[in-house]
Structure formats: C-alpha cells, structure tokens
Amino acid sequence: MIAVVFACGGAGAAVSAPAARAAAACGTDDSAPGHRGKAGGDVVPVPRADGRVEQFQLFYDEPGPGSYLPFAWHRSQSAPGGPYGDWERVSGTPVGPKLYQVGAVESADGRLEVLFSSYGGFCRTTQDADGGEWSPAEGFGLSPAPYHGGIVLFKERDGRLHAFASGAGASDSMQVRSQDPGSGDWGAVRGLGKVPDSFVGLGAPASLTQLADGRLHLVAREWNRDRYWRITERERSLSWGPWELCATAACA
C-alpha cells in the first residue's frame, strides 16, 4: 500500500551506494508562537492497526513568523469511529518553501513516522505507539530536485516501510531508504540507477506495487512531460533494474 501507487532500457542496474547527502538542518523557527491559524492544503489521514485514524495538516501560525511558512499539525482519534482530540503542532520546523508536503505512516512497532519538506530537504519526526512528545526533527537524507515531487511512503505486506524520492544527483534517477521492521532503524540511501536517457529527470513515483513474490514494482513519470518509466526489483531488497520506457501511461 502507498501511504500518502516498451523499449528495453539497456543493461540491468544494480543498487548503487551514493555518498550520504548532508542532512537538512531541520531547525526550529523560534519566531513562530505555535498558535494554529489558517489551514494550508488537505488533511492527510493515516489509518492505524487498531482501527483509529490519525490526521495531519499544515497550518500557518497566527500571527505569522518571519519565514511566513506553515507547520505540520496532528490530531488523534480516541477510538475507531470516535471523535478527534485537539490539534497539536508536530514540530517547530517550518514546511516549505516550493514544496509543501507532509506524509505519515504507522510503522511495524506502532510508532507514527512523519516526513515533511523543509528548505529543499526532508525532515523526520516520530511519536511512540503510546503517544507523548514528538522526537526532535532530523534530516532524512532524501532531497529531490525542485519541482521533481516529494517523498512517497510505501508499506510492504510484512510492515516494512520504504521512502522513495526522485534522485537529484547524476548517478540515480530514483532513490530509496528502507526501514528494518524489527529495529525500526532506517537504512542508508540507495540508488536505483539512471534511466537510459541522459536528458530525462523523473518525478516522484506514480505507482508502487508489491508482486506476489515480494518484489517491488515502481512506475514514475518524467517531471516535465507525459512519459513513464518502470523498474522492478531483481532481488528483493538487494538490486533493481533495468529501467524500461513504458509504451502507455499505465505501463501496459
């Protein structure tokens, strides 16, 4: 499930090991008073294993801080189908500019994982299964190029989480980080190789599916035109490739 889903493209592309990109600072805006004002964007619902639904949304502070950027807020449902509690601010780190995205998902151990865009990178914060304070925001290490989309979260059938984003560097058209469902730790950034066209840049994944044998299949649109590319894991959690140009938007 997605938590926020031919011409042969040359030789297969094994997962590369790009150098770790400097994490975004994810610093707080101390000029923001934390008073919820005007909403920005749509509500992001996150279903939980116990039947409750969490909600996330961007709100601007009132009065606005010097950055004039919104912040991620959250509220919890008391019981499945029940009322929601009060909105609370997830982090004092602003969201934006250019890309205003907040994505969230429940991890295998019941924590809420939240990723949001901030000054060209992505920040991560978590809340334990029993609620409580949110962890300090920290850089997540995926930084898609401007206008190439944001992060797409995908949960496998066994609860393993993946975060995909367009690759901003010269070596990979798409990058991914994967979470170990046992420890909850996120692995290093891995690359999916380059599409066999040097003038192509991809947006965020348009669709992600898990095949019957457990491998993942990804389709992405070029960020500036209606052409689509697809790629499938060769070995689960180990290697991908090759990229193939789709004959139709549905990659049929």
Q: How confident is the model at residue 25 (pLDDT cuts 50, 70, 90)?
A: confident
Structural domain count, the chain: 1
- Predicted local distance difference test score (pLDDT) of residue 252: 66
Task: Using the CB atoms, write b or e for 23-34: b if 16+ within 10 Å.
Answer: bbebeebeebee
Does position 3 have pLDDT exceeding 80, yes or no?
no
| Residue 17 placed within a domain | no
Alpha-carbon distances, residue 69 vs 66, 107, 224 (angstroms):
8, 28, 26
DSSP string, 239-251: EE---EE-SSTT-
Higher pLDDT, residue 241 or 244: 244
Q: What are the strands of the beta sheet with 138-139, ordered from one edge?
A: 102-106, 112-118, 121-127, 138-139
Boundaries of domain holding 106:
36-245
Q: What is the CATH number of the domain that holds 84?
A: 2.120.10.10
| Residue 1 placed within a domain | no
- Predicted local distance difference test score (pLDDT) of residue 15: 38
Nearest to 17 by CA among 177, 153, 148: 177
Q: How confident is the model at residue 30 (pLDDT cuts 50, 70, 90)?
A: confident
| Residue 10 placed within a domain | no
| Residue 178 placed within a domain | yes
Does position 217 have pLDDT exceeding 70, yes or no?
yes
Burial of 91 (0-12, 13-18, 19+ CB in 10 A): buried
In whole angstroms, what is the distance from residue 12 CA to residue 193 CA? 9
Mean pLDDT on 175-202 = 92
| Residue 65 placed within a domain | yes
**The residue type at 148:** H
In whole angstroms, what is the distance from residue 241 CA to residue 251 CA? 16
- Return the structure tokens found at 223: 């960020």
Region of poorest pLDDT, from 15-29, 84-98, 108-122, 234-248? 15-29
Higher pLDDT, residue 42 or 181: 42
| Residue 133 placed within a domain | yes
pLDDT in tens, 135-171: 999 999 888 888 899 999 999 998 999 999 999 777 8
Q: How confident is the model at residue 103 (pLDDT cuts 50, 70, 90)?
A: very high
Is 0.75 topped by the overall pTM?
A: yes
| Residue 184 placed within a domain | yes
Cα-Cα-Cα-Cα torsion 118, 176, 211, 43, nearest 10 degrees, comes to -10
| Residue 71 placed within a domain | yes
- Return the structure tokens found at 125: 């914060």
Cα-Cα-Cα-Cα torsion 243, 247, 249, 252, nearest 10 degrees, comes to -90
Q: Whats the size of the chain, residue-wise? A: 252
Contact 229, 243 (CB under 8 A): yes
